[in-house]
Amino acid sequence: MSTSAIEIKNVSKTYRGESAPVLDDINVTLEAGEFVCLLGASGCGKTTLLNLVSNLDVASVGSIATSGKVSVIFQESALFPWLTAGKNIELALRASGVAKAERKERALELLRLVHLEHAYDKRPHELSGGMKQRVAIARALAQDAKILLMDEPFAALDAITRDFLHEEISTVWKERGLTIVFVTHNVREAIRLGQRVLLLSSKPGRVIREWGIDLPQPRNIDDPAVATLAAEITTELRKEISRHATR
């Protein structure tokens, strides 16, 4: 019996009116409970790949199979500004079929999971950027998602808040047994979080390198071992950026 959470087979994507594909012959399998980070230059198709996995878009060629509900967390939290943090989560619970009488307690449980139970009655404009993203994570979990697709969710945050959220998402991932695909431009962030790092080429996007991250958790983004591996991956990323720039 397969334990795969995501199976991407021979996937290519070409947009209408374009002669060249954005993605070309992508083959990736994620086992249930795996945390995989995607790196690549801007425009290489990382977000397009997430859109295909989440069924927000359709592959031109190939197939994608997922096991369990999929939820996407974007760079912007996309909370409804007229609803409180708690009500944003309750809306997701309602869509998942949770009875009205149970929603508030479930929402509070999810907020406790991301250490924001005190923010139930706060509206998004009263929350910091990091707090909004934690609510977005809680809202994704309210959908009973087993697969989280995270598209540069911490890119706009300051370094201290980002480091705190690294710890938060690592804890949630382990406690919930989630499968996570995490898109980032930050090489150290990818090493800090992931079990595997995949490097995509530029136009068209192909998986050209893969690194298994065997460093023990928890990891610090400034650990010497993280820095050493980051230098190796950054060298490969720069080669790919230079190759694309000279076309």
Question: What is the residue extent of each domain of the chain?
Answer: 1-68+149-247, 79-145
Whether the CA torsion 239, 47, 52, 60 is positive or negative: it is negative
Q: State the Rg of the chain over Cα.
A: 18
For the chain, 247 residues long, give each residue's pLDDT as a single digit of tens: 458 999 999 999 999 888 889 999 999 999 999 999 999 888 888 999 999 999 999 999 999 999 988 999 988 888 899 999 999 999 999 988 888 889 999 999 999 988 888 999 999 999 998 899 889 989 988 888 899 999 998 888 888 888 888 988 998 899 889 999 999 989 999 999 999 999 999 888 899 999 999 888 878 888 888 889 999 999 988 888 777 665 5
> Cα 35 vs. chain centroid, distance in angstroms?
9
Give the integer Cα–Cα distance in Å for 38 and 189.
Answer: 11
Query: Rounded to 5 degrees, what are φ and ψ at 8?
Result: -110, 115
Q: Yes or no: say if 106 and 139 are a contact pair by the CB < 8 Å rule.
A: no
Structure tokens given for 12: 């290519």
Structure tokens given for 174: 């382990």
Looking at domain 1-68+149-247, its CATH architecture is 3-Layer(aba) Sandwich (3.40)
Structure tokens given for 149: 């697709």
> Cα 78 vs. chain centroid, distance in angstroms?
15
The residues that bridge with 36 in the sheet, in sequence order, are: 181, 196
What is the DSSP secondary structure assignment for residue 124, as one 8-state letter? G
Structure confidence at residue 1 (pLDDT): 45
Q: What is the DSSP string of 46-112?
A: HHHHHHHHTTSS--SEEEEEESS-EEEE-SS----TTS-HHHHHHHHHHHTT--HHHHHHHHHHHHH
